[in-house]
Structure 1
Amino acid sequence: MQRTRFNSMDCPIARSLDRVGEWWSILILRDALGGMTRFEEFQKSLAIAPNMLTRRLTALVEAGMLEKRRYSTRPPRDEYVLTERGRDFRPVLLSLLAFGNRHFAPEGASVAIVDAKTGAPAEPLLIDRLTGRPLASPDYDLAAGPAATEATKARLAARSARLLGSDI
């Protein structure tokens, strides 16, 4: 079955999902951000079939999230190292972790975000880099960007009309 592609859509969320939206890809990035680089490490951590892991690693390399580097010539062996783009995915993973702990872990958190020096619990918060203010409604909203198509402008205008007077 051919997967639907989102890479040509106008939406940045759809384009991101096209690159990393498959769950194995997100888990591979989780492990890469945890320091794993080798095929065998990913396979052991995820209990994933080798052919699926090969496809996902290849896709992440093509998406610019990982870089394939040869670490042994005899036998030929490669490692997969996060690129800057891959490292930029860290806040997304931390947000997913916090969301999962909050909404899908009735038994409690199995993984927690903590201050590395003190061990104190930490809670992710998305902020505006320019002002340092939390990106919370009603202070922030979505708007058409300079590259928005007419369809995107219309979708966002309809969204604003629906949400007028309510919190996002």
Structure 2
Amino acid sequence: MHKTDLTTLPCPIARGLGVVGEWWSILILREAMYGETRFDGFQKSLGIAPNMLTRRLNELVEAGLLARRPYCEKPPRFEYVLTEAGADFRQVTLSLLAWGNKHFTPEGKSVILIDSVSGAEVHPVLMDPATGLAIGARHVAVAGPAAGESTRTRMSRLAERRAAAPAPDLSNGE
């Protein structure tokens, strides 16, 4: 089966998925965010086969999300550290964590985020830095110079429906 190269599409979501869309890649990045840097550590924490781990690490290095650095000459050994692009993926993983906790943990939250100063639980929210307002699905529109005619038409119809709908309650970030 031939896999489509999503990284060549104009949509940034498709391009991002082209880089990290394979689930092992996301879990490797999660472990790197938790401080793991060594091949053996990734393998142990994830239970991933060595050949699969090698492939995924190489892909993440090639994509610029991880950097490979030697830490031992004989035998040659490398560690894998987050690059700026890899560290920026933290926002995506925190959003996945919150979404997974909300929708897929009937037994209760398995992981929570804690403010390191106050000790209080925190909840990730996507925010517009210019206004300080939470960005919710009901008050943003998707647009872009790379959008095709069908996307522009769909977004125009969506904007018309939103304009006709009652004003959303923005107090909860939606």
Is 1:6–2:6 an aligned residue pair?
Answer: yes
Task: Say whether residues 1:49 and 2:45 are aligned partners.
Answer: no
Measured against aligned partners, the alpha-carbon deviations of 1:121-152 in whole angstroms (never above 9, x if no partner) come to 1111101111111112443211123xx15x2x
Q: Match of 1:129? A: 129
Instruction: Give the AA of the match of 1:164.
Output: E
Paired residues of 2:20 and 2:26 also in contact (CA < 8 A)? yes
Mapping 1:30-49, distance limit 5 Å: 30-49=30-49
Could you tell me which residue of structure 1 aligns to residue 171 of structure 2?
none
Identity of aligned residues (%): 52
- Which whole-Å CA distance do the structure 2 matches of 1:87 and 1:131 have between them? 24
3-state SS of the aligned residue for 1:25? helix
Paired residue total: 164
Seen in structure 2, the aligned counterparts of structure 1 residues 130 and 162 have a Cα distance that, compared at 3 Å, is closer
Q: Does 1:154 align with 2:147?
A: no
* 1:143 partner amino acid: A
Instruction: Report the residue type matching 2:9 in the other structure.
Output: M
Q: Distance in 1 between the 2:139 and 2:110 partners?
A: 33
CA distance in 1, matches of 2:95, 2:28: 16
The equivalent position to 1:165 in structure 2, one of 156, 161, 172, is 161
Cα RMSD for the two superposed structures: 1.7
Equivalents in 1 of 2:11, 2:62: separation in Å? 20
Q: Distance in 1 between matches of 2:134 and 2:161?
A: 20
Amino acid at match of 1:26: I
Where does structure 2 lack aligned partners over 5 or more consecutive residues? 163-167, 169-173
Moved over 4 A (4+): none
The one-letter code matched in structure 2 to 1:68 is R
